[in-house]
Amino acid sequence: MKDEIYVIGHRRPDTDSIVSAKLMANVLRYKGFNAHPAIMQNDQIEQNEKSFISNINISDFRTISDNDIKSGTFYLVDHNDVAQSINFNANIIGCIDHHMLSQFAKENIKNVIISDRVSCALAIYEKYKWIIPFTEQEKNDILLATMSDSKFEMSSYFTNQDKILLDSLQIPYNTKQLFNKFFIFSSTDDKKLLSQNFRNIQIGNSLYQSGTLELPNTDYLNTFINKIKKSDYENYLGIYCDRNNNETFVIIKEGNEIKKEKYNGIISRKKII
């Protein structure tokens, strides 16, 4: 692993994490670094992201074991909190992300880029499109990553600037057609209700586990809340998106206390945090 840089997204990667690792590895190679997109060994791709990722070539990804972390050099994408990926015993030379800056990144990573774009892939494109050429395939990957992270342009975090950048890719697309082709509702399997789109998130001095459900109605909302209440998690951030009514329910467990909030629109975890 000597002299190699591994560009890695968060564990249980989504489409944006995968695409961002590919794009940033290409950027670093363009700058002369020996960089490779990477994924953690035995990591699982989110079920509702597989329809997207099946259209993306990931054959060039390197697999990183837990033993590789101490001897490797890493560049983080689509997260800047190492609790979400390689933990704390790693040499990290930089990161690019579109989430809130973590205390760890603030204190330990020198080259940090934080963007307010709706997807990390779009942030990479915005920053480097005047410097390096992006292929048609890369642009298509950016579109898919942004559709995924913007909830098909329904997210409260999707802005006019995001739309302008998407249009600058010059790839004709129809959002409704892409939704019908790629969107997969969350599983309603009782054993999976709290583990979908799962993340470990550091908020202040506290570590939260977090999961998201996207369903066509609120039929499973009370079941979701009760599962959170009865879970062994000390801190849990649950997000339930009702697609048909365009509403989001946020359930926060802190110890034995449960808080519930309702929002109009499809609210992202990034916005909630």
Which DSSP string do the residues of 53-71 spell out, in sequence order? Answer: HTTS--TTPEEE-GGGGGG
Assign 3-class secondary structure to 30-48: HCCCCEEEEEECCCCCCHH
Handedness of CA 123, 126, 132, 134 (dihedral sign): positive
- What pLDDT was estimated at residue 207? 87
Residue range 178-203, pLDDT digits in tens = 999 999 899 999 999 999 988 888 77
229/87: higher pLDDT: 229
Mean pLDDT, the chain, as a whole number?
A: 91
- What pLDDT was estimated at residue 172? 95
Buried b (16+ CB within 10 A) or exposed e, 82-115: bbbbbeeebebebbbbbbeebeebeeebeebbeb
| Vertex 11: Cα angle to 72 and 139 (nearest 5) | 90
- What pLDDT was estimated at residue 156? 82
- What pLDDT was estimated at residue 144? 96
Q: Is the pLDDT of residue 38 over 90?
A: yes
Using pLDDT thresholds of 50, 70 and 90, give the confidence band for residue 150.
very high
| Vertex 22: Cα angle to 70 and 71 (nearest 5) | 10
Q: Is the pLDDT of residue 1 over 90?
A: no
Helices 136-149, 120-128: inter-axial angle, 10-degree rounding: 140
- What pLDDT was estimated at residue 88? 66
CA distance 118 to 123: 8
Q: Is the pLDDT of residue 44 over 90?
A: no
Q: Are 76 and 195 in contact (CB under 8 A)?
A: no
Give percent of the chain with pLDDT exceeding 70.
Answer: 99
Q: Are 64 and 40 in contact (CB under 8 A)?
A: yes
Output DSSP code: residue 169: T
Report how far apart the first and last C-alpha atoms of the chain are (Å, whole number).
Answer: 35
